[in-house]
Structure formats: C-alpha cells, structure tokens
Structure 1
Amino acid sequence: MRRTMTRLGTDTIRRLPKVLLHDHLDGGVRPATLLDLAAQAGYQGLPETDPERLRAWFTAPTSGDVVRTQEGHLARFTPVLDLLQTAPALSRVATECVQDLAEDGVVYAEVKVAPEQHTREGLTREQVVDAVLEGVRVGTAKARLFGRRIDVRLLLTAMRQAADSLEIADLAVRYRHDGVVGFDIAGPEAGYPPTRHISACEYIKRENFNLTLHAGEGFGLSSIWEAIQWCGADRLGQAVRIGDDIAVADDGSAKLGQLAAYVRDKRIPLELCPTSSVSTGAVRDISEHPVDVLRRLRFRVTVNTDNRLLDGTSMTGEFTRLVEAFDYGLDTLRWFTVNAMKSAFIGHDERLELIDGVIKPGYAGLSTEHVGAAFFRMEDSW
C-alpha cells in the first residue's frame, strides 16, 4: 500500500468529505450562542462571559479530578441543558450545528438528541424533536447557499439513568419518515447496564428500526456484550474497551477474545471517538487509543467527535490527531469515511450514492495533489 510522502495538513483534511455517526447536539453548541442565550434568559450559571474563556472552561479537565471520569465529563452539560429548554433555542443550535459540520467538510451526519433533557420548561418531547428538525432544515438550506452539500439526520437518545426509554423509542419510530433514523441510549454506564432498557430495544427491533447503544467506555466488556447479545445493537457507541479483549504481542500479532472476534466477524460498526476517550479517561493519550490496532485488524472502525464543544474537537480535529499519532495518509482517512457511510442508518441506495458520488470523487480529487490516483487501489471490504 502506498503512503503519502508528506504528512497531511489540516487545510487538506478539512476539505475532505467526511461522515459523522456519533455527535451530540448539546455537546457541540457554540460558546457565543450559550452566552447569547444566557443573556436573553437572564441566566447566571455560566462560569465565563467571554466566548474563548468559556470554550476553555468546557474543554479543561473537571476541577478537582485527579483522574478524569465519564461522570465528571458529563457534569459539564449542566449549564448547556439549562439553556436549551425552548423551541427557538433548540432550533438555533440545530441550525448552527449543521452549518458548523458543513464548514468542516462533513457531508453526512447523524446527530444525537435526548428529548427528555429539554422538557423542564414545558416543551413536550414531540416539540423538542420538531424544533430540532426545523433547525436542521434551516441549517441545511443555509449550507447549500454557500455550495456545501450536507445531509443531517437525528438519533433520538434515551438516558440510562431515566425510566422512559420505551417512550423515546416509540417517538423515534413515529418520526422515522421525518428525519429520525434510529434510537440510542446514552449516559453513565456504571450502575446502568443496557439491559435496564431491553424493552425499548426489543421494540425498536420489532419495528425494523435502527439501534445504536453507548457501550464500552465508562464500563468494560460486559457492557458491550449486553448491548449486542441482549439488546441487539446494530452499532456500538464509543466501544473503546473492546481493546481489552485483544492481546497484541511484541511482534504485532494479535489474539482476539470471543467477544472481539464476534464484533469483527459480524462487522458491527464501532463509533470510536478518540478525543472524547481521552477526555473521559478511558485512554491516557490518543497514541494509546486502540483505533490503530482495530484498524489493522480490519474491524468496522468509524471516527467521530462525540461532543465538539466539551472535547474541543471537530472531524478535522479528529483526523488531524490521528494523522499526527499514527502517520495516516489519505487512504486510511478514506477507509474510515467509507466505513462510516456503509454503517449509516439510511437506505442502501442513499449510502451508495454518497460513497460513489461524493466521497470517493472527493478523495480522488485531492489525491492528485499528493500521490496520484493509484493511491486508491486499496479494495474496500464490507
């Protein structure tokens, strides 16, 4: 396989067509927008009044944490959720989300929204979804005015610590023809196994709908096993702990445990979020993330942002960090992107149209600036 002679730069990576399967709407709000919403509402809960200082507060390790934790990371959502309790606020952040992703070169995205997190001031779950979908429509139209193609769909998320997952699953199914493409379960893993919500998962499967579950970040292999074998997950959110079931020898050879082998053999997509895994303490550094081992072993690896504000990242940022850590070239970034598009929760024909009509031509066009078209003779594997 040919490699680039020079390392890819951030500007080139930003121009690449990218696919994003794991991104939380409330985790990617612009700091300036939060300050504006706070001023409108008379809200005093933000720790900073300057956008850049506020951004730095969100991305800094939780105060007092010697070891970063998933729970400490999630606590930073509190002021964001306080401000996202009205339809106009939700529509605005959804519009800006689409614009920001399009500006970053994302051509397809599935954005996660937890309706129950936005109903404190009287909105119904349906009104939450309607407001976000309206923002997506506006954002898509604005992006296209600037010549940027992007398609954004929603994943409705139930929280592990709550007790209304079946209602959220039903809501997702009811909106399946209006921009919602699947159901998700998120929140702290420790103490809240996915099997607590097995009725919701079974309902989704009975309705022939799509299921992705956060598993294998804040908790270990048992969380992944339950998500697959009990809940029937089509994709795994985060799943960084799958690396615990892989033994890599000094010579680079690897022995897979039964669970890891099953995940690979069944081509279950992994929604890896490398920067987020560092933020939550699941791994100490990007260079220690199992993404490269999983790539070399040909798991269905996808790369994602999780929470763009809290993690100080973007798809360009994720790819740039992986290039710096593992010396990836365009071929590998293309492989991640095609993997993600193959794993998206839209129809087969729509996926192929984006792969063949947008992603491959986009990479091929940029490849001529680096190593030529022969760079892309690597065969894709389903």
Structure 2
Amino acid sequence: MTHTLPGTDIAIESLPKISLHDHLDGGLRPQTIIDLAGEEGIELPETDADALGKWFADQSNSGSLVEYLKTFDVTTSVMQTAAGLTRIAREFVEDLHADGVICGEIRWAPEQHLNKGLSLDDAVRAVQAGIDEAVSAIEAAGDKIWIGQLISAMRQADNGLEIAQLALRHRDSGVAGFDIAGPEAGFPPSRLQDAFDLLASEFFPVTVHAGEADGVDSIKSALIDGRALRLGHGVRIVEDMNVHEDGDAITVELGTVATWVLDRGIALETSPSSNIQTGAIGPKRVLAEHPFDLLYRLGFSVTVNTDNRLMSDTTLSKELALLVDTFGYDADDLLAIQINAAHAAFVSRADKDDIIDTLIAGFEKI
C-alpha cells in the first residue's frame, strides 16, 4: 500500500526520509518471527504471518505503555542468537530502504539478547553484521543509506554504566549513540547518572526516552542528568505550556523546560501511532489530539518516527500520511520535518550536509 500527498499522485514512499526512533525488537517481519521460532522450538500466539501481525497490532492498542511493552517478550525470544540478530538487522535496513529512508538509527538493548550465551559485544557485532550486509547490497544497487546503532540501557536494570561502556567500545564500528528505554515512570534518568557522566566525558551523543509515560520532571531529568541532545517522544512537553484559546486566536505561554527545549533546538522524536497506543496523548486517543501540530507551529524541532513498526502496523510513510490527513500538511511541511531530523541525526557534519542535500534533491523532483 502506498500513501499519496492529497491532490497529487506523489507517493510519500518515494520521498527521502529520516528515521531516528525505530526499535529493532519492534520492527521484525512476522514471517521471520515464525521462521526463527520454529528453529528454536518457541511457541507463538499465531503461526500465520498475517494473523501474527494482526495479533501484535491488537495487543498493542491497550492505551498502556506497560501492556504495550509485553509484546516484546515475543520478539526478543527469537533474538537470542547471532544468526537471528544478523538476519533481523539486515531485514530491518532493507525495510527502511524500501520505505524511502535514507538515514536511519536503529535502537535496541543488547542486554535483552543474552539468554543463549551471547556476550554484549557478540550481540552488537551480530547486529552490525546484518546492517553491513544490507548497506553493502543497497550501495551495490546504486543507492546510499546511512545507518547507525543506538545502544539502549534498560532504565530499570541498574546496569547503565556497563551498557555505556559497551556503546563506547563500538563507537568506531557502527554505534552512533546511547539511549535509555523501558518503564519511564519511577525510573528517572538520574538513576543512571554514572553512565551519563561517562558518556559526557567522552563526548558521546545521548537521546533519552522522556515525556512519553511520564511528564515534565522526566524531561527535565533527561536534559540535566542525561545531557540529552534529543528526547524520545517528548510529547508531554506540552504539560509545561499554558494554551489560551480566544476564538481563532491561540496564545501559548511556555514554562522554563519547554523554553529550553525550544530555544536549544532539542529534537522531539514523536511517534504518532505509538503515542496513541501507549496513552501518551489525550484521553480520546485520536490523532487530532496529538500535540504535534502545535509543537510544529511553535517552532519546536519535531521529527516523525515509527517507534515500533510491527506493534503499530506502520511505516514512516504511513505516519507522515496520517499527519498530512489530520493537519493538512503539504510537501514543504514534510521536507521541513525531515530537515529537522537530519539536523538531529547522530552523524558527522559532512554526512549531515550530504543527507540534507539528498533530502532537498529528492523533494525538488516532485
């Protein structure tokens, strides 16, 4: 299925795009899960690819982040061997490329993939092998894609320093940044202070899940304790705003945290469908309630992402199409959002310039 810009025959899939927030264990192909589960003797809730894909989407529509995260027990169960991780990473990049992504960051938590004897370093190398295979094939076909790993520490596991050291060991072989994931409420970034201190001392970029399942204090901790350059989701930044409506006129007063995020250009890694599924936005759980448009019009560095393509039954093109349909965006808006993402990507200045040139050239073709 393709998604077109209204009033045109332009497929959003054909436009170059940037993906900053996309979890490896949330982007498996259903058939791959079935294949790997069969090899490992793992029972699944469904054994038909279409039915399994539907099961993931249905289970993820609870409105609770805690319930949403339970679906990952299934995906991580088939991600415990080097061969499995390599296949999944290769297919992940292939699927990004098929959707028009020219720069993607793949976040995942190696500590969740050690049940069958892999070491942390083995796991990172296995994922990188799959990335390298896909990138080489894409380049051999005449295209180019920038891909980096984001190594996540599970915020509830209290081993952030070890995972930060892991990320640093692989910074010259594919790892582009560090993240913390898992249950946000009750597990502030300050719990991983030693990890963030080490990463800051080594000038290593950090993004932090914040402002999804918890509010402004979580965002504040990500900025102060984590020195976050980006916020994973970050949509609850609106809780630090007072919005006044008088007819068609809207006045917005920003609090100190929201002002800091706006003035410093700290990117918000929003994921519209996921934000609805996990209850990160308004009670009606409809896209019209999503603060994306308000944030975009206020000048925040908003980006659009999938979070977990399997659980949300989505692609980056589909997420953009949803915003287009809801808020009336056009190609200029989509390009502006992609340039936000390019500026926020954890790549070199030279690569960033190349990515932006590729974005502009791709949109000029339409």
TM-score (norm 1): 0.91
Say which of 45, 48, 52 aligns to 1:47: 45
Give secondary structure in 2 for the equivalent of 1:72.
helix
Aligned to 1:256: 254
* Distance across 1 between alignment mates of 2:244 and 2:144: 44
* Distance across 2 between alignment mates of 1:27 and 1:330: 28
Output one character per residue of 1:349-375: Cα deviation in whole Å (capped at 9) or x when no partner: 11011112x110000111xxxxxxxxx
* Distance across 1 between alignment mates of 2:205 and 2:60: 34
The answer for unaligned runs of 5 or more in structure 2 is none
2:296 aligned with 1:301: no
Give secondary structure in 1 for the equivalent of 2:70.
helix
Answer whether contact 1:341 1:355 (CA < 8 A) is retained. Answer: yes
Aligned to 2:315: 314
2:351 aligned with 1:360: no
Describe how 1:189-204 pairs up with structure 2 within 5 A: 189-204=184-199
* Distance across 1 between alignment mates of 2:319 and 2:228: 25
Aligned to 1:373: none
* Distance across 2 between alignment mates of 1:248 and 1:172: 40
Shift of 1:175: 0.8
* Distance across 1 between alignment mates of 2:71 and 2:110: 18
Give secondary structure in 2 for the equivalent of 1:47.
coil
* Distance across 1 between alignment mates of 2:241 and 2:6: 29
When the two chains are superposed, the root-mean-square deviation of aligned CA atoms in Å is: 1.4
* Distance across 2 between alignment mates of 1:191 and 1:338: 34
Describe how 1:68-147 pairs up with structure 2 within 5 A: 68-147=63-142
Describe how 1:1-382 pairs up with structure 2 within 5 A: 7=6, 12-44=11-43, 46-61=44-59, 65=62, 68-250=63-245, 251-283=249-281, 284-356=285-357, 358-366=358-366
Report percent identity of matched pairs: 43
* Distance across 2 between alignment mates of 1:223 and 1:76: 24
Shift of 1:265: 0.7
Give secondary structure in 2 for the equivalent of 1:60.
helix
* Distance across 2 between alignment mates of 1:203 and 1:10: 50
Aligned residues: 356
Give secondary structure in 2 for the equivalent of 1:161.
coil
* Distance across 1 between alignment mates of 2:24 and 2:109: 9
Answer whether contact 1:271 1:302 (CA < 8 A) is retained. Answer: yes
Give secondary structure in 2 for the equivalent of 1:120.
coil
The answer for unaligned runs of 5 or more in structure 1 is 1-5, 367-382
Deviates more, 1:146-155 or 1:120-129: 146-155
Shift of 1:8: 6.0
**Kindly tell me: are residues 326 and 243 of structure 1, through their superposed partners in 2, closer, same or farther at Cα, counting changes over 3 Å?**
same
* Distance across 1 between alignment mates of 2:60 and 2:139: 38
Give secondary structure in 2 for the equivalent of 1:189.
coil
